[in-house]
Amino acid sequence: MAYRSISQNTTQSSSLVVTPPSGIVDGDILIAWAVSDAATGSISWPAGFTEMSGSPLRSTWSNQSLYVALKVASSESGNYTLTATGGAIVGGVLAVSGREASVTPHRSSAVANNNGNGTPWTITSDAFASATSSTCDIIWIAGSDAGDGPVTHTPPAGMTERADISVDFALHTTVATQDAVGSGATGALAGSGACAGAQAGWDVYAIALADLSAPPSGDPVIEELAWYPMPIMAQRRTVTVFA
């Protein structure tokens, strides 16, 4: 179980309506994100979404804010509306299945770069505070703060790009995922952005969502003999042993 689907709205608005990603089931992790062409402002999220630690990220090279929020899906119905102050936004909602049902990721990092980096610019997420300790899906969400366009993004090696939005020479964002990454992932992931003749700052989140905690299947069983005094009797029972 892993990446399920994504829905995006590339028509900039201060009241961005996003249709639900296809196939959502209860317990999926929903990740909403948006980018604005302003280094100020905020977003009012749809019911149940919790803004992630570190959000929003602000780049001041050409002014940009990148926002991320999470929700555990529960009886989802209808569209999602993201209401922004400080400027129009574009963005969307990503659904991930089979992960721990929590709005607190297993690991996450967030970093903004305020420099005017020449094209192509490297976008590198910060390392997690500690490496992952279980199998996870990794989600990489970035924004390029370029005052020109269109911008084309390239995801980090091994990741699959799920969205690449570049609108009106100002709103540039990308999402990439990698499923079932083993323990020990550091979170330091390098992608890039490019636009002919442009310079850019950038913002980027790396998010690790852990596998569901479930007992392994096909575990061995042992038989143990339990003795009970007065009167002496024995009862044989089987016990499932988990690693």
**Residue 232 covered by a domain:** no
In the predicted structure, residue 215 carries a pLDDT above the cut 80: no
**Residue 229 covered by a domain:** no
> What is d(CA 117, CA 95) in angstroms, rounded to the nearest whole number?
32
Mean confidence (pLDDT) of the chain: 88
In the predicted structure, residue 228 carries a pLDDT above the cut 60: no
Closest CA to 71 of 38, 98, 42, 94: 94
Instruction: Name the percent of the chain lying above pLDDT 70.
Output: 87
Q: What pTM was estimated for this model as a whole? A: 0.86
**Residue 65 covered by a domain:** yes
Pairing of strands 121-124, 190-194: antiparallel
**Residue 230 covered by a domain:** no
- Return the DSSP state at 22: T
Contact indicator for 21, 95 with CB cutoff of 8 Å: yes
The 10s digit of each residue's pLDDT in 93-106 is: 999 999 999 999 99
Full residue range of the structural domain in which residue 22 is found: 3-210
The DSSP bridge partners found for residue 178 are 138
**Residue 243 covered by a domain:** no
In the predicted structure, residue 216 carries a pLDDT above the cut 80: no
**Residue 217 covered by a domain:** no
* Contacts for 47-51: CB closer than 8 Å, 24+ residues apart: 48/72, 48/74, 50/103
Contact indicator for 36, 165 with CB cutoff of 8 Å: no
* Strand residues in 75-231 grouped as ranges (E): 80-85, 89-96, 107-118, 121-124, 136-146, 152-154, 160-167, 171-181, 190-194, 199-210, 221-228
**Residue 46 covered by a domain:** yes
In the predicted structure, residue 212 carries a pLDDT above the cut 90: no
Over range 139-145, report the average pLDDT.
96
The 10s digit of each residue's pLDDT in 120-136 is: 999 999 999 999 999 99
**Residue 218 covered by a domain:** no
Q: How many domains does the chain have?
A: 1
The CA-to-CA distance between both ends of the chain, in Å, stands at 21
